[in-house]
């Protein structure tokens, strides 16, 4: 097979389309991972007054234990653990900050607990917060899930964007593939005419061009996966890590082999169907099988 400029463009366009599709899947998957991660952190934090002593802590703990309808899994976070978490979250940006030992006196101790589903409603949480704040040793009550609740529209919008992007890209790739097959067939019009004249069946001609397209499709899949992995690797290990977002970088995951196979299989069915339909209509347009 000779590599014409059309065939080369076909390979390049398909490869970049594959990269875009795989990247949109990666975006969608990692968005879910990050949101899921934050979701796990949706614990209520009950911050103690900075000067609270052991007896005060016990009073607050006793109070929390009476709220079994609203909270569960109560854990104590001491100053050292809170300072270490704080430094860890901010990665190298915290380099200019004081050390963990120096931070200890500045960070309050706290209790964290899981909210029951009944208390997750905003009004219920507000009631719980108000009742906890009446205790003189409680400085503040905050709920990690507030952020998510506040931005739940953004969360849904991002997920919708991810899915829409994937769908639009898949359709675009199918359309591009169909147009490419059409160009490929147009370019080979003379050959198809000869094949048709010497008695090649429709399936033989379809098979020949679909095989050729399958070859380009497979090559672009391989290049697409490799290129996507390289982009992902550099984004995760160079860009994000380089910028100090260790926490985000360590959470990002590439597609698993099963996910890659599933995406490729779906694309294969999508694209090859588009290519077959286009081939059929192009051959009819060329009047080679228009004897009716």
Partner 1 sequence: MIQLKHIYKTYGADRHALRDLSLQINKSDFVFLVGPSGAGKTTLFKLISAFEKPTSGEMQVCGHSLNTIRLGQIPFYRRKIGFVFQDFKLLKNKTVFQNVALPLEIINSPVDHKKKTLEILEHVGLGHVHDQYPDFLSGGEQQRVAIARALIHDPELLIADEPTGNLDPKMSETILQLFFDFAKKGTTFFVATHDYRLLKLQNCRVLELEKGQLIEDRIA
Q: Which residues bind partner 1 (CB under 8 A)?
A: 2, 190-191, 193-202, 204, 287, 289-292
Closest to partner 1 by CB, 79 or 208: 208
Alpha-carbon distance of 153 to 147, in angstroms, equals 11
Closest to partner 1 by CB, 2 or 40: 2
The least CB distance from residue 186 to partner 1, in Å, is 15
The least CB distance from residue 162 to partner 1, in Å, is 44
The least CB distance from residue 217 to partner 1, in Å, is 21
The least CB distance from residue 198 to partner 1, in Å, is 5
DSSP string, 139-197: EEEEETHHHHHHTHHHHHHHHHHHHHHHHHHHHHHHHHHHHHHHHHHHHTHHHHHHHHH
Residue whose C-alpha is closest to residue 189's, from 279, 276, 65: 279
Burial (CB count <10 Å: 0-12, 13-18, 19+), residue 114: middle
The least CB distance from residue 2 to partner 1, in Å, is 5
Closest to partner 1 by CB, 1 or 95: 1
Closest to partner 1 by CB, 197 or 258: 197
Closest to partner 1 by CB, 119 or 184: 184
Enumerate residues 6+ apart whose C-beta is below 8 A from 143.
42, 43, 44, 45, 115, 125, 129
Alpha-carbon distance of 281 to 287, in angstroms, equals 10
């Amino acid at each position: 097979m000779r590599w014409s400029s059309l065939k080369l463009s076909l390979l390049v366009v398909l490869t970049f389309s594959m990269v875009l599709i795989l990247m949109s899947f990666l975006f969608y998957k990692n968005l879910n991972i990050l949101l899921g991660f934050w979701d796990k952190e949706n614990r209520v934090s009950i911050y103690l007054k900075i000067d609270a002593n052991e007896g005060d802590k016990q009073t607050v703990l006793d109070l929390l234990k009476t709220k079994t309808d609203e909270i569960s899994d109560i854990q104590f976070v001491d100053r050292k653990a809170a300072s270490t978490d704080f430094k860890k979250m901010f990665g190298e940006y915290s380099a200019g900050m004081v050390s963990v030992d120096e931070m200890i006196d500045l960070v309050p101790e706290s209790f964290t607990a899981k909210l029951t589903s009944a208390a997750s409603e905003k009004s219920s949480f507000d009631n719980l917060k108000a009742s906890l704040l009446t205790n003189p040793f409680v400085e503040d009550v905050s709920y990690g899930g507030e952020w998510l609740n506040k931005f739940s529209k953004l969360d849904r919008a991002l997920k919708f964007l991810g899915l829409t992007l994937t769908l639009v890209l898949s359709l675009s790739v199918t359309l591009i593939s169909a147009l490419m097959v059409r160009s490929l067939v147009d370019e080979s019009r003379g050959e198809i005419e000869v094949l048709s004249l010497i008695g090649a069946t429709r399936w033989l001609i379809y098979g020949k061009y679909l095989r050729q397209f399958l070859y380009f499709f497979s090559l672009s899949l391989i290049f697409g996966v490799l290129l996507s992995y390289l982009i992902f690797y550099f984004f995760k290990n160079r860009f994000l890590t380089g910028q100090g977002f260790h926490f985000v970088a360590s959470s990002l995951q590439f597609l698993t082999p099963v996910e890659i196979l599933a995406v490729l299989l779906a694309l294969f069915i999508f694209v090859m169907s588009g290519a077959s339909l286009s081939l059929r209509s192009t051959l009819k347009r060329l009047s080679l099988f228009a004897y009716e």
